[in-house]
A and B are shown apart, each in its own frame.
Chain A
Amino acid sequence: MSDIQESLRVRAKELLESGEVATVIGWENGRFPNQTTPLITRDADRTGDLVWNDYCANTLAKYVLDTKSAGKTAVCVRGCDSRAINRLVDDGQIARDQLYLIGMPCTGMKDRATGELLSKCAECAHKTPVVSDEMLGEPTADADSATTTRFARIDEVEQMSREERETYFKTAFTKCIRCYACRNVCPCCTCRECFVDQRREDWLGKQNNLNENRFYGLTRIMHIGDRCIECGECARVCPTDLPLMELNRKVIKDMNELFGEFEAGMDATGVKPVFQTFELDDVEEFM
């Protein structure tokens, strides 16, 4: 990994000094051991701080929206970042030619506290970038096989009785503090003004209670469900550890069953997500 880190620093410096890109986005060491934080820099001297290790957990793609006004952005991409980039390009948030993608051979990131593979990485079957302008190092052979199947947990929850599920999600939504971290980190959530921030429309109150938390939680999933790239960032950043991916993946699983297999963000060819299109012979249940 250290040789990849070294070539990353060299390439980032070259890109900035040659003026090919205005900004570089990667990771740097955080304040705590085994912790990294995103590094967003326009200073070639800062590229020496870039790191590549087992704890580069943050998905970087969404930061390109903050840097696009300065010019072209070079961003380190793993599988999840690259799918997020495809998502942003397909959603018309950024032009692909405004990006330089440095592919990283990801093998999954580790939890800072436990040293185990993050659950979002254990379930990830696309660790190698699906799109990049250059790759640093070769992807390992087993990088693209998930250690746990992504719908395993959904099947478990579906097996519960209705009452158990009700209690399970009630407990979850009661814990929600509505910090909106899941929204802020999500590469699909790119509305300039989110419904939760609209005060006069009265979509959502400001009180913290089960009803409003659930209103937010379920709406969030209906807004992003068909475009979700399953990066798992929402669940990772949640300060109260809500099972957010169990809700996202439920929607994805149903969509796959109803409207055919679809994985968002695998390419940026403009294929419309499930809710934005229809087929005349869609499943009929409401007759």
Chain B
Amino acid sequence: MSVVENSAATPDVATDFEPKILAFCCNWCTYAGADLAGLNRMKYPANVRLLRVPCSGRVNPQFVIEALQKGCDGVLVCGCHPGDCHYVTGNYFAKRRMLVFKRLLEYAGLEPKRFQVRWISGAEAGKFRDTVTSVCEQIRALGPIRESGFIDTDFDADVLNAVCAPSVVSTEEATTIEEAAK
């Protein structure tokens, strides 16, 4: 994976916030496009983490909710242009699903920019760079998802897991947890 550190990404921005963006990339197009962007030494923000999937049709809406709730500030789903799917029809199904799902998330209160879908082919390294850059800037402007109110921040899964399963917690850890709880 060729992710180029973009030193120009941060200085212009007033805040220190670095968004974490998860990009589901189709193995046959966007992933190759990202690779091409790397080969061409294109610069794009390092805030994006690529997650390779066999097809945009593989992206279950649950993946998106999970990513957002686990603290990804934005989710990007990228697949082949309609008509170019390696599996012929996968992205058509993905399109229908994501059209509806995006509206549902927005209806439930998510900021629209936090979940985006784009078709990027293996040859479109420039489009990949532009998309990632613009998504990154949009999310940066929105701020961290933990402060947006969409996810439950009162709840700390790790602490709760430890409390629920005391047998696996050592005495020192338990003391630390108790102190943290105070």
Contact = CB atoms under 8 A, between A and B. Distances in A.
B60 to A, nearest CB: 9
Contacts of B107: 157-158, 165, 169, 247, 250
A278 B96 contact: yes
Contacts of B157: 207
Interface string A244-270: 000100110011001100000000000
B52 interface: no
Contacts of A255: 100
B118 interface: yes
Contacts of B105: 218
B119 interface: yes
B108 A287 contact: no
A218 B100 contact: no
Contacts of A158: 107
B97 A286 contact: no
A221 B100 CA distance: 11
A286 B66 CA distance: 22
Interface in B47-78: 61-62, 65-66, 69
A interface, by DSSP: helix, strand, loop or mixed? Answer: helix
B155 A209 contact: yes
A43 to B, nearest CB: 45
A170 B109 CA distance: 9
B65 A218 contact: yes
Interface string A157-199: 1100011011111100000000000000000000000010000
A250 B104 contact: yes
Interface in B104-154: 104-111, 117-119, 149-152
Contact of A282 (B65, B92, B104): B92
A225 interface: yes
A219 interface: yes
B149 to A, nearest CB: 6
A165 B155 contact: no
Nearest to A174: B152
Given A211-B151, A275-B96, A286-B95, A219 B62 contact: yes
B14 interface: no
A97 interface: no
A211 B96 contact: no
Interface residues of B, number: 38
A226 B101 CA distance: 12
B55 to A, nearest CB: 14
A258 B100 contact: yes
A251 B98 contact: no
B29 to A, nearest CB: 13
Contact of A219 (B61, B109, B117): B61
Given A209-B152, A222-B61, A284 B108 contact: no
B87 interface: no
A286 B117 contact: yes
A113 interface: no
A203 interface: yes
Contacts of B117: 285-286
A278 B104 contact: no
B104 A222 contact: yes
Nearest to A221: B104
Contact of A214 (B92, B95, B99, B108): B108
Nearest to B79: A286
A274 interface: yes
B17 interface: no
26 contacts: A165-B107, A165-B108, A165-B109, A166-B108, A170-B149, A207-B160, A210-B152, A211-B152, A214-B69, A215-B69, A218-B104, A218-B105, A222-B61, A222-B62, A222-B100, A222-B101, A247-B104, A251-B100, A255-B100, A258-B99, A274-B100, A275-B93, A280-B82, A282-B96, A284-B95, A286-B119
Given A166-B108, A222-B101, A284-B82, 6 more contacts: A203-B62, A207-B157, A209-B155, A214-B108, A258-B100, A275-B93
